[in-house]
A = this chain, B = another copy of it.
Amino acid sequence: MESTPPREVCLCIALRRATRAATRFYDDCMKGTGLKVTQYSLLANIDRAGSIKITDLARKVDMERTAMGRNLSLLEKKRLVHAEGEEGDLRGKLYSLTKAGRSCLEAARPSWRKAQTEMRRKLRNHEFPALEAVAGIILGKDV
**Identical chains bound together, number:** 2
Residues of B contacting A10 with CB < 8 Å?
Answer: 26, 37, 41, 112, 116
B15 touches A18 (CB 8 A): yes
Question: Binary interface profile of A, 112-125, with partner B (CB < 8 Å = 1, else 0)?
Answer: 10011001101100
Q: How many residues of A contact B (CB 8 A)?
A: 45
Complex CA gap A135/B119 in Å reads: 12
Interface of A is mostly: helix
Kindly identify which residue among B17, B120, B138 contacts A135, using a CB–CB cutoff of 8 Å. Answer: B17
Residues of A within 8 A of B (CB): 7-23, 25-26, 37-38, 41, 48, 61-63, 112, 115-116, 119-120, 122-123, 127-128, 130-135, 137-139, 143
19 A-B pairs whose Cβ atoms sit less than 8 Å apart in the complex: A9-B132, A10-B37, A10-B116, A11-B22, A11-B119, A13-B41, A13-B61, A16-B23, A18-B135, A19-B19, A21-B62, A25-B138, A123-B134, A127-B133, A127-B134, A127-B137, A130-B131, A131-B134, A134-B134
